[in-house]
Amino acid sequence: MLATARHLYSASPSDSPVFRPEFSYLRASFEGRTVFLVLGYVDPHPDGPTEVWYSASGEAVRLRHGRIVSTAGLTTDWRAVRLSNVPEWTRAAKGGQPALRFERERDLMPGYRAGIRDEVEQRPIDPPGDTMLAGRPAASLRWFEERSSTHPGSASLPPARFGLAPVGDRLEVVYSEQCLSRDLCLSFERWNPPAPANIASTSAGS
């Protein structure tokens, strides 16, 4: 799958990626770069399907219900994440509820710091005005913030934000901002590539 990603996108930031309709994409910003990740495969898991995304440079990100559950190839990586009592997004979206809470345990590299524990509080927020969204307005999404209390405190993180949209009869994360450390934050946006020029011209003339 990595070879496919390298074929789809030049490693040169000056070149535009060539999208192919048979693949799914994420527009990601991290470490001062904006890149497109391609969906390699979906790994079944008891807590929900886990999407495995690849960049042309070799980074890999695993997402489950929009949350990072592992990374590889970044300056800081979460090698494994264990989540407990995570509320479903449809439950979180119901109005009139108190803040929801769940637990997260993660293993951090480099240095292999294992068993870092986060107590996460989730609450709805108004659409923010300072996102990295490029394909849709922030006001079109339902927004949630997740703040964590971390043990040890030296591994604490900035708040995460999630933008959700209806997909069928469910709400799904289509945009998120999540940090792997205080100094490394990432954004992910589900990306619908524009139609190729020849297809767009044909449609316009029909």
Q: Which of 164, 170, 2 minimizes the C-alpha distance to 67? A: 164
- Summary count for the chain: helices (H), strands (E): 3, 12
Residue pair 38/5 in contact by the 8 Å Cβ criterion:
yes
Quick one: which H or E segment has residue 105?
Answer: strand 100-109
One-character DSSP codes across 60-90? EEEEETTEEEEEESSSSEEEEEEEESPPPHH
Q: Which of 53, 76, 83, 22 minimizes the C-alpha distance to 176? A: 53
CA–CA distances in Å: residue 13 to residues 9, 25, 132, 145, 160: 9, 17, 18, 31, 27
pLDDT at residue number 167: 85
Amino acid, res. 153: G
115-153 pLDDT per residue, tens: 999 999 999 999 999 999 999 999 999 999 999 999 989
pLDDT of residue 12 exceeding 50, the answer is no
Amino acid, res. 125: I
pLDDT at residue number 142: 94
Please state which of the ranges 15-19, 26-30, 53-57, 159-163 shows the lowest mean pLDDT: 15-19
Two tokens, residue 84: 């407990």
32-91 pLDDT per residue, tens: 889 999 999 999 999 999 999 999 888 999 999 999 999 999 999 999 999 999 988 987
* Percent of the chain topping pLDDT 70: 85
Angle at Cα 170 formed by Cα 30 and Cα 44, nearest 5°? 65
pLDDT of residue 205 exceeding 60, the answer is no
Higher confidence at residue 200 or residue 20?
Answer: 20
Distance CA 24, CA 28 (A): 13
Residue pair 19/193 in contact by the 8 Å Cβ criterion:
yes
